[in-house]
Amino acid sequence: MEGKLTLEVAIPERQLVSDVVDSVEIPSETGYMGILPGHAALIAKLGHGVLSFTSGEKRNYLALHGGLMEVLPGLVRVLADSGEWAENVDYERAEKAHDRATNMIQNHETEVDVARATQSIRRAEARLEAVRRLKKTDH
């Protein structure tokens, strides 16, 4: 389709998205990338963050964590380590996970694997941000 992109997003368990969209914003390791039709081909590592895409008037949000993305003419393919729709995020649970991991690092209460705790914080932050963005567009 002229002026559109096919977006495919998959995690190991299943495909999350297979849709024709107007634009995509993707969290890469180096920051967010905006992808529009006609974008140059590329392959990049995903970071932790919110993938958002527009289809008509609707904006959609997914919390993503690690993986790879590929941009080809008319196609954006995302293979994430994990991800979930903003609508499915349990906000309170994500807040608690964020607080727990932050406290573990700050207070050195136990033998902490800092790398794992940091990953937990990033995961929780992406989940929380996905919900915040969804709530902004719902109003």
**Residue 110 vs residue 61, higher pLDDT:** 61
Give the lowest-confidence range in 2-6, 66-70, 78-82: 2-6
Instruction: Indicate the domain borders of the chain.
Output: 5-86, 89-138
Same fold, 5-86 and 89-138: no
Q: How far, in Å, CA of 107 to CA of 124, rounded?
A: 19
Q: Give me the sign of the Cα torsion angle 39, 20, 22, 46.
A: negative
| pLDDT over 60 (residue 96) | yes
Query: Are 95 and 62 a contacting pair, CB within 8 Å?
Result: no
The CATH-assigned architecture of domain 89-138 is Up-down Bundle (1.20)
Listing DSSP states for the chain in one string gives: -TT-EEEEEEETTEEEEEEEESEEEEEETTEEEEE-TTPPPEEEEB-EEEEEEEETTEEEEEEEEEEEEEEETTEEEEEEEEEEEGGG--HHHHHHHHHHHHHHHHH--S---HHHHHHHHHHHHHHHHHHHHHHHHH-
pLDDT tens string 29-44: 999 999 999 999 999 9
- pLDDT category at 110 given cuts 50, 70, 90 is low
pLDDT of residue 109: 57
pLDDT tens string 51-65: 999 988 889 999 999
Q: Each residue of 107-119: b (16+ CB within 10 Å) or e?
A: eeeeebeeeebee
The CATH-assigned architecture of domain 5-86 is Sandwich (2.60)
